[in-house]
Amino acid sequence: MTLHTLSHAQERDRQDKLAPYKNEFYIPANSIYMDGNSLGLLSKRAERTLHELLNTWKTLGIDGWTEGEHPWFYLSEQVGEKMAPLVGGMQGETIATGSTTTNLHQLVSTFYKPDGNKTKILADELNFPSDIYALKSQLQLKGYDPDEHLVRVKSRDGRYLQEDDIIEAMTTDVALIALPAVLYRSGQVLDMEKLTKAAHERNIPIGFDLCHSIGAVEHQLHDWGTDFAFWCTYKHLNGGPGSVGGLFIHEKHFGKTPGLAGWFGSKKGSQFDMDHKMDPAEDAGAYQIGTPHVLSLAPVIGSLEMFEEVGMAAIREKSLELTAYMLELVEQELTDANFIIGNPVDETRGGHLLLEHEEAARICKALKEDGVIPDFRTPNGIRLAPVALYNSFEDVWHTVQKLKVIMDEKRYEKFENKRGVVA
């Protein structure tokens, strides 16, 4: 039996302990879904908990804040605690609130304290644009020119970052560091422990964007001493479009005044005292700004049940196996297709692969027509994410075979090499 055969993939699926979880998800009809790093699929459990929260509103009205299976008043804290094992957080260090960018604004407002010549924020040139927009606006709010005070570490090859280059940029004028845990294009996993240690040796607070890492790779943020982190829940956590984000605050910062204050950051016992002097929560709960988005939190509750059952170690193990298998098939079946593998081939890759090709936009359209859902990233990237909970080795085999036919027969040529409005 060779890697080329369908029977080999099916045998690996028979041995896969996580294979039954595929039945927990709604897979789009007649398709192979390889875009879970952009939007995870709906699970039956997420659907169930959404209906449960809707029913609470339907049957209890305002009493849903304190009654029912999931009282709304405590929902952000409870969901945050369920996310703690996914980031290596301790009691009270995680909270489900806001969105990726609003949480970044909150955290930069809290931890960016320019003083004297220590005024710069250190980021990187490969980061997702939304993070850069937020960092620039925070500098402008403090009266600093982003062109001068936002330092972006250069990539040597346009795909990866070197941790040593980042550390070299941790100069005496840097007041804050904000980096991705996993690069959204290439899928490179940064050495967060090494970077945190280096930042703290230079007395610089550091935080990470976990959007492409939470639910896909393991973290030990508390043990590493990482100051803060933030993430979305609609990618690998399968919380649904626009589902509520999350953030981590190391316990050493408990009691620190959040940069942006809001009513729901109050201690629970005193929140309804209606005092104009805020009594903030003593843990990550203090970083909430607004009322919990109950119906957007509801699916996350059901989704997290599976992560609790399986554990991140098993998810990461299968994720690495799936991506390794896809890499092997790409190298064997697509040798003449002029693809460049744009992701790390060792275990510093996250949960997705990046195939670069000058016809990438057209190839993605051809894949969709043939029932494979990929993700295009400008200018020439095809991201494929075989997700541990709902993708199989057979999915990977069929994906590569369909891609081989598309390239051999040049089926992509009938499409325009231009991205859609959403890509």
1: pLDDT strictly greater than 50:
no
d(CA 283, CA 267): 9
423: pLDDT strictly greater than 80:
no
Annotated active-site residue in 208, 234, 325, 376: 234
Average pLDDT over every residue of 79-101? 98
d(CA 146, CA 149): 5
At residue 304, the pLDDT reads: 98
pLDDT by residue (tens digit) across 378-391? Answer: 999 999 999 999 99
Phi, psi of 16 (to 5 degrees): -85, 120
Nearest to 299 by CA among 232, 215, 239, 242: 239
Residue 52: helix, strand or coil by DSSP?
Answer: helix
Can the peptide bond before residue 85 be classed as cis, meaning omega within 30 degrees of 0?
no
pLDDT by residue (tens digit) across 269-301? Answer: 999 999 999 999 999 999 999 999 999 999 999
212 annotated to bind ligand: yes
At residue 269, the pLDDT reads: 92
Annotated active-site residue in 35, 82, 185, 209: 209
At residue 3, the pLDDT reads: 67
d(CA 351, CA 182): 9
Residue 407 corresponds to which tokens in the numbers above?
């390239």
314: pLDDT strictly greater than 60:
yes
User: CATH fold of 6-30+311-414, please?
Assistant: Aspartate Aminotransferase, domain 1 (3.90.1150)
**Which band of pLDDT confidence, cut at 50, 70 and 90, is reported for residue 368?**
very high
231 annotated to bind ligand: no
Q: Is 112 a catalytic residue?
A: no
Annotated active-site residue in 120, 235, 316, 362: 235
d(CA 355, CA 344): 11
209 annotated to bind ligand: yes
pLDDT by residue (tens digit) across 237-250? Answer: 999 999 999 999 99
User: CATH fold of 48-310, please?
Assistant: Aspartate Aminotransferase; domain 2 (3.40.640)
Annotated active-site residue in 349, 377, 383, 402: 383
Please, what is the average pLDDT of the chain?
A: 97
172 annotated to bind ligand: no
Q: Is 234 a catalytic residue?
A: yes
101 annotated to bind ligand: yes
Q: Which helix (H) or strand (E) holds 377?
A: strand 375-377
Entry pTM: 0.96
100 annotated to bind ligand: yes
Q: Is 14 a catalytic residue?
A: no
d(CA 234, CA 39): 6
Q: Domain boundaries in the chain?
A: 6-30+311-414, 48-310
At residue 420, the pLDDT reads: 79
Decide: 224 and 202 in contact? Cβ < 8 Å: no
